[in-house]
Amino acid sequence: MIARLVVLGATGDLAGRFLLPALVRSVAAGALPEDVVLVGAGPQDLDDAGFREHVAARWAEHAGDVPADVSGPLLARARYRRLDLEDPTSVARAVGAGEGADAGPVAVYLALPPALFATALRSLRDAGLPAGSRVAVEKPFGSDLASAAALNDLLAEAAGGDPAAAFRVDHVLGMPRVGQLLSLRGPGGELEGVWSSAHLEQVDLLWEESFGLRGRADFYDRTGAVKDVLQNHVVQVLVLLAMELGRTGDEQALHDAKLALLRAVRVLGPDEVATRTRRARYTAGRLPADDGAGDDDGLVDVPAYATEDGVDPARETETYAELVLEVDTPRWSGTRFVLRVGKGLAATRKGVLLHLRGTSGDRGAGGEQRWIDLDAPTSDGAGSPVQGELAAYEQVLRDLLGGGSRLSVAREEAEQAWRVVEPVLASWADGVPPLLEHPAGSPGPGLLPGVLPPA
C-alpha cells in the first residue's frame, strides 16, 4: 500500500471538505497505514506549521470525533510545498521525486479546477514519478470526447504508461448505497425478480439539489448541469443499474461489463434531442438557508441564476437537465431511463425511482413505485452517521492508496460517457430545444411528454 499522499490543491474546497477528513477517518478506522504521510501543495505561501493549522481546522469542521492519538501523529507528519503547476521542478519538489527517503511511491491527487488538469499532468510527466506511484484525476474528465481522449493520453504519460497507475475519480462509485445497487439487483437481492423491462417501465436516476451555486458561479457557468453531474455521476449509476452481472469480484470483469453497457446506450439523434431532452435554469425564488437561518420556514430569497456574479447569461448554462435514454440490450428493450439533475429545486433527492408496470403490463398503467435513496447517511464503525459523499471519499482514498481500481473509471469508460451526452450538448448549443426557466425552489420546468411522474 502507498504510504504517501500528495494533494495538489490541498487548501481548496474539495480537499477541505472531503479529502482531508476522509484521510484521517480512514486512518482512525485502520483502513490506511498509521504512518501514512500527507503532503499538501498549493500556491499559498505557507510553511508546515501553517498548513497543519489549516488541516486541523478542516478536521474539526468535517471529520467528526477522531481520537487525538490518531489525528495528532498524522498532523505532526503533514508537510507543505508551495506549488507552481507550470514548473516541473516545483511539482517534483512537491511529490518528493528523488528526495532520499521520499523517493518511494506516492499517490498524487489532483484536487484542482478541471482547467488545470492538463497543466498539472504535463508537469508530473516532466518531473517523473517514483516507480509504483499513482495519479488521481477528479471529474469532470474533459469537456467533450476529444478533450477526454487527450486528457487520457496525458494521464497515461504522467502515470509512466502503466494503466493501473491512472485513477479517474468519480466518487459516486464509493458512496455506500451506490455500492449496494449490485447486491440489490443481483442473485438473491430483493429486486432480482423485477430487474428487466418485463417489470420496469421507467427508471428515474435523480441528482436533484435544493441549493444554488454556493460560491461556484465561475466554475459552474463554464460547466453546467450535464458536465458537472449527469455525464459522470448519473451515467455511472445508470451503468451499475443496467449492466449485466458477471464476476463482480473481478475488477477487470467489472470494467468490461460497465464498458459493454455504455456501448449499448442508444445515442440520441438531432430530432430525438428536441423531444427527449429538456434544459432549464432557475429564476429568482426561495431556497433553504445554508446556515440554517432564514425565515420561519428556513428559507431565504435567492436571485435568478443569470444575475449571479460570475455568470454570463449569454452562455445559457443549464442548471437543470433531463435526458430520456434507452439501452439496446435484450434485458432493457422497452424501458425508459430518465436522467434528471438540477440545482435550486424544491428538494434534494439523490437516488433511483423505479416505475413498475401495472398488472396489465401496459405502458403508463400506473404500477407501483419504489425509491432507492443513494445519499442517506450511513453508520461508521462507531455507529456515528456519515454522509454519503464523505464516506465515498474514504473509499476512494483506500482504493487509490491500496492499488485497487474498483472505484476508478477506466479509460474507455470515460470516453464512452462523452459519446452518450456529446450529441445532446451539440444540439443544445444550437438552441434545440430552447432553454426553459423555472422559479428557484420549484420542482423544475415540468416533465417531458410520455415520462411518468413520481407518485
CATH number of the CATH domain containing 270 = 3.30.360.10
Residue 139 placed within a domain: yes
Residue 47 placed within a domain: yes
Please tell me whether residues 180 and 145 are part of one structural domain: no
Interval 89-105 mean pLDDT: 76
Model confidence at 454, pLDDT cuts 50, 70, 90, reads confident
Question: Which pLDDT does position 377 carry in this prediction?
Answer: 72
Question: Which pLDDT does position 112 carry in this prediction?
Answer: 95
Question: Which pLDDT does position 65 carry in this prediction?
Answer: 87
Question: Which pLDDT does position 380 carry in this prediction?
Answer: 60
**Across the chain, how many H-helices and E-strands are there?**
16, 17
Predicted confidence (pLDDT) at residue 99 exceeds the cutoff of 60: no
Question: Which pLDDT does position 117 carry in this prediction?
Answer: 97
Query: Exposure of 311 by Cβ count < 10 A (0-12 exposed, 13-18 middle, 19+ buried)?
Result: buried
Please tell me whether residues 303 and 434 are part of one structural domain: yes
CATH at residue 38? 3.40.50.720
What pLDDT, in 10s, does the model give residues 141-190?
Answer: 999 999 999 999 999 999 999 999 999 999 999 999 999 999 999 999 99
Residues of the chain with pLDDT > 90, as a percent, come to: 84
**pTM of the complete model beyond 0.95:** no
d(CA 300, CA 314): 26
Question: Which pLDDT does position 102 carry in this prediction?
Answer: 55
d(CA 123, CA 128): 8
Phi, psi of 42 (to 5 degrees): -170, 175
Please tell me whether residues 164 and 178 are part of one structural domain: no
d(CA 166, CA 137): 8
DSSP 432: -
Predicted confidence (pLDDT) at residue 284 exceeds the cutoff of 90: yes
DSSP 115: G
Interval 327-353 mean pLDDT: 96
What pLDDT, in 10s, does the model give residues 288-320?
Answer: 987 666 666 789 999 999 999 999 999 999 999
Question: Which pLDDT does position 42 carry in this prediction?
Answer: 95
Please tell me whether residues 200 and 160 are part of one structural domain: no
Residue 382 placed within a domain: no
Question: Which pLDDT does position 64 carry in this prediction?
Answer: 82
Interval 322-342 mean pLDDT: 97
Neighbours of 45 (CB within 10 A): 8
What pLDDT, in 10s, does the model give residues 354-408?
Answer: 999 976 545 445 579 999 999 877 766 555 566 788 999 999 999 999 999 999 9
Tally of domains within the chain: 2
Question: Which pLDDT does position 292 carry in this prediction?
Answer: 61
Neighbours of 106 (CB within 10 A): 25
Decide which of 360 and 18 is more confident.
18
Q: Look at strands 299-302 and 285-288 and give their pairing.
A: antiparallel
Model confidence at 246, pLDDT cuts 50, 70, 90, reads confident
Interval 109-123 mean pLDDT: 96
Decide which of 233 and 65 is more confident.
233
Please tell me whether residues 192 and 309 are part of one structural domain: yes
Domain boundary among 121, 146, 169: 169
What pLDDT, in 10s, does the model give residues 409-430?
Answer: 999 999 999 999 999 999 999 9
Residue 386 placed within a domain: no
Question: Which pLDDT does position 414 carry in this prediction?
Answer: 96
Interval 45-57 mean pLDDT: 96
DSSP β-bridge partners for residue 208: 342, 349
Model confidence at 225, pLDDT cuts 50, 70, 90, reads very high
Model confidence at 200, pLDDT cuts 50, 70, 90, reads very high
The dihedral through the CA atoms of 417, 6, 401, 27 has a sign that is: negative
Predicted confidence (pLDDT) at residue 267 exceeds the cutoff of 80: yes
Please tell me whether residues 251 and 302 are part of one structural domain: yes
d(CA 26, CA 308): 38
Domain of residue 49, residue span: 4-169
